[in-house]
Amino acid sequence: MIPLVLLGASGRMGRAVAEAAAAGGGFELRACVDREIPRGAASPEWNTDLSAVLRGGDVVIEFSSPAAAAAAATICAERGARLVSGTTGLDATQERAMTAAAERTAVLRASNFSVGVLALRRALASALAALPEWDLEIVERHHRLKADSPSGTALTLAQDALAARGWPASALVNGRAGRLGARPDAQIGLHAVRGGSFVGDHTVLFAGPGESLELRHVAQDRAAFAQGALKAARFVADAPPGAYTLEAVLPAGR
């Protein structure tokens, strides 16, 4: 049994991971951590302080905040625990904390734990190679409560495209307004839609002369992300120290 500690346990993703771990077997949900302990919480152990419950050999799965994610990485490295991190938007100092922790323990990070999104990224790589001169736009839709935009997944897709085309970060444009003139060739438009209860919807649109192509992934339930996070937890439980991504868990061809 892999001992799990959930950080951000009362959030949407924390609850989804807890449900998936209980249903899937092979995991012991040993403790839950969040800023507030839900009323009536009994089992497993709840705490507001990760360091108070963490033991060596635990696997921490966190969907929390940039500050909490960076602090969790440091604590995991100190205690000999592993970390699966789904938080995005870390600043430079927090990124350094993640990097330092990965020198001492296994740290796996992803902006999206969906297997389908990983397939989307691989399809995007093929399309970029086949359509080097086509215009590229990314549209993402999320629920009305999502705090950041564009989403971490949209930014990951954009970074994949920038790397493939050799373009600088300045080629990214967040939406458009006003009389801007013709669209530059070396540009990627990022468009964030917020409303309702979208779980996660990402479309990469290629537009060429007289034709277009759309690659789209729609997450219908957070259980998809939870299953990916548990696959990552199984991987890091036996992995040596290092910085990992979901590609290590699900290499191409498997």
The CATH number given to whatever domain includes residue 215 is: 3.30.360.10
Q: Same structural domain for residues 101 and 158? A: no
125 within domain boundaries: yes
Q: Are 117 and 202 in contact (CB under 8 A)?
A: yes
166 within domain boundaries: yes
Q: Same structural domain for residues 105 and 8? A: yes
Give the residue among 231, 202, 195 at the shortest CA–CA distance from 219: 202
Q: By residue range, what is the domain housing residue 148?
A: 115-219
State both tokens at 238: 């036996």
Q: Which helix (H) or strand (E) holds 32?
A: strand 27-33
How distant, in Å, are the alpha carbons of 102, 123, 148, 183, 197 from that of 142?
Answer: 31, 22, 10, 26, 7
Q: Same structural domain for residues 101 and 145? A: no
Catalytic annotation, residues: 142, 146
Give the residue among 157, 125, 133 at the shortest CA–CA distance from 208: 133
Beta bridge partners of 5: 31, 60
Q: Same structural domain for residues 215 and 226? A: no
- N residues, the chain: 254
254 within domain boundaries: no
Alpha helices in the chain (DSSP H): 12-24, 50-53, 66-79, 92-102, 115-130, 152-165, 223-237, 246-249
pLDDT value of position 182 = 96
What mean pLDDT do residues 174-182 have? Answer: 94
Q: How many domains does the chain have?
A: 2
pLDDT value of position 42 = 72
pLDDT value of position 89 = 87
pLDDT value of position 65 = 95
172 within domain boundaries: yes
How distant, in Å, are the alpha carbons of 9, 42, 44, 54, 230 from that of 31?
Answer: 9, 10, 5, 8, 15
pLDDT above 70: percentage of residues in the chain: 99
Q: Same structural domain for residues 135 and 185? A: yes
Return the biggest CA–CA distance within the chain: 61
117: helix, coil or strand?
helix
162 within domain boundaries: yes
9: helix, coil or strand?
coil
More confident residue, 158 or 40: 158
Residue at 142: amino acid letter? H
Q: Same structural domain for residues 209 and 230? A: no
Pairing between strand 45-47 and 27-33? parallel
Q: Same structural domain for residues 154 and 73? A: no
Instruction: Check: pTM over 0.85? Answer yes or no.
Output: no
What mean pLDDT do residues 69-84 have? Answer: 98
State both tokens at 142: 């999320």
Q: Same structural domain for residues 16 and 142? A: no
Residue 132 has pLDDT above 70, yes or no: yes
Residue 236, domain CATH: 3.40.50.720
Q: Same structural domain for residues 133 and 72? A: no
